[in-house]
C-alpha cells in the first residue's frame, strides 16, 4: 500500500513507520491520521511484524501538533466530532493495538504529536526533544486524549502544570517526570529503539497482546483490571505460544513462537 504522508520500512520483524511531512514539521492533518490508521491496521495484521517503531521525518520534529488550519473555523459540533473520530481511528486504536508500538521522539512532540506519542506503548526520546500541550494558548484544550493520558504518565499535578501553562519541557525533564523511558542522542535514537524492539520481538506475540490489554484495563474506570488479567492469564494456557514457550524452557532452548 502506498501512502502520501508515511513511509514504512520492515526488517527482522520490526516495522519503522515514519511520518513524512517535514515542511509541516510532520503535523497531523486529517489525511495523515487516516493513513496512520490504515498503516497501523496493516502492520498489526502482518504476522511477520512483531514491533512497530513510530517516528517523524527529519531531525526537528516527531510531530509538532495538529494542522490548525484544518479546524480553525469548526463549529462546536464539528470540533467534538473531530476529537471523537481521531480517538477512534488513531489514538485509542494505537493504545489498544496488539502489536507493541515504540514512539521514537526525534524533536518536537507538541499537542497532537505528544498525544500520539502518549498513545504508544512507551517512548524513547532524543536529547533535543521538546514536549508539551499548548492547546490552551489557542483557546482550546487537548482533544486527542492529552488530559487523560498525561496525568496517567506524570501525575495530576505535573499534568495540570503542563496543560494550564501551555509550556514545553525538555527531554531531561520528560525523563524525570516519567513521560519517556529513556533519553539518548539524536544519532543513537533509532539504534536504541531497534535494539529494544529486537528484544521485544523475541517474545510471544499472543502473550504480549494480552499483556497490553491487561495493563490498559487498569486505567479504565469501568473495567476491572485484575479480572481482565486473570482471564487473560487463563487464556494464555490454551495457546500454541504457551506450549512452545514452556516446552522450549524445559528443553533449554530458545523459543520459536508461531506468531500472531
- Has 135 been annotated as catalytic? yes
Beta strands across the sheet bearing 101-105: 6-11, 14-19, 51-56, 101-105, 122-126, 182-184
Write out the three cell numbers for 194.
531497534
User: Which residue carries 513510530 as its cell?
Assistant: 54
Q: 88, 135, 161, 176: which is the annotated catalytic residue?
A: 135
- List alpha helices for 46-188, DSSP H: 76-86, 92-95, 112-119, 146-154, 156-165, 171-177
Write out the three cell numbers for 158.
505535573
Q: Which of 126, 125, 107 is nearest to 63 (CA)?
A: 107
Q: Which of 13, 87, 89 is nearest to 53 (CA)?
A: 13
At 124, is the secondary structure helix, strand, or coil? Answer: strand
Beta strands 61-63; 101-105: pairing state:
unpaired
- Has 115 been annotated as catalytic? yes
Q: Is 117 exposed, middle or buried (0-12, 13-18, 19+ CB in 10 A)?
A: buried
Q: 115, 161, 231, 244: which is the annotated catalytic residue?
A: 115
Q: Catalytic positions, please?
A: 115, 135
Amino acid at each position: 500500500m502506498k501512502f502520501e504522508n508515511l513511509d514504512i520500512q520492515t526488517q527482522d520483524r520490526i516495522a519503522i513507520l515514519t511520518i513524512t511531512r517535514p515542511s509541516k514539521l510532520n503535523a497531523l492533518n486529517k489525511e495523515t491520521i487516516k493513513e496512520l490508521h490504515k498503516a497501523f491496521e496493516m502492520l498489526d495484521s502482518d504476522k511477520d511484524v512483531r514491533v512497530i517503531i513510530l517516528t517523524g521525518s527529519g531531525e526537528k520534529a516527531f510531530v509538532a501538533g495538529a494542522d490548525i488550519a484544518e479546524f480553525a473555523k469548526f463549529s462546536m459540533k464539528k470540533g467534538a466530532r473531530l476529537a471523537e473520530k481521531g480517538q477512534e481511528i488513531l489514538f485509542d486504536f494505537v493504545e489498544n493495538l496488539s502489536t507493541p508500538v515504540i514512539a521514537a521522539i526525534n524533536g518536537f512532540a507538541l499537542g497532537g504529536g505528544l498525544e500520539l506519542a502518549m498513545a504508544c506503548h512507551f517512548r524513547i526520546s532524543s536529547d533535543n526533544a521538546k514536549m508539551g500541550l499548548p492547546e490552551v494558548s489557542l483557546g482550546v484544550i487537548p482533544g486527542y486524549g492529552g488530559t487523560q493520558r498525561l496525568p496517567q504518565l506524570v501525575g495530576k499535578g505535573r499534568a495540570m502544570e503542563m496543560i494550564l501553562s501551555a509550556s514545553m519541557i525538555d527531554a531531561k525533564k520528560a525523563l524525570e517526570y516519567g513521560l519517556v523511558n529513556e533519553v539518548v542522542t539524536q544519532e543513537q535514537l533509532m539504534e536504541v529503539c531497534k535494539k529494544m524492539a529486537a528484544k521485544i520481538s523475541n517474545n510471544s506475540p499472543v502473550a504480549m497482546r494480552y499483556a497490553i490489554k491487561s495493563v490498559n484495563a487498569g486505567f479504565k474506570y469501568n473495567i476491572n483490571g485484575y479480572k481482565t488479567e486473570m482471564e487473560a492469564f487463563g487464556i494464555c494456557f490454551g495457546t500454541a505460544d504457551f506450549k512452545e514457550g514452556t516446552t522450549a524452557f524445559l528443553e533449554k532452548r530458545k523459543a520459536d513462537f508461531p506468531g500472531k
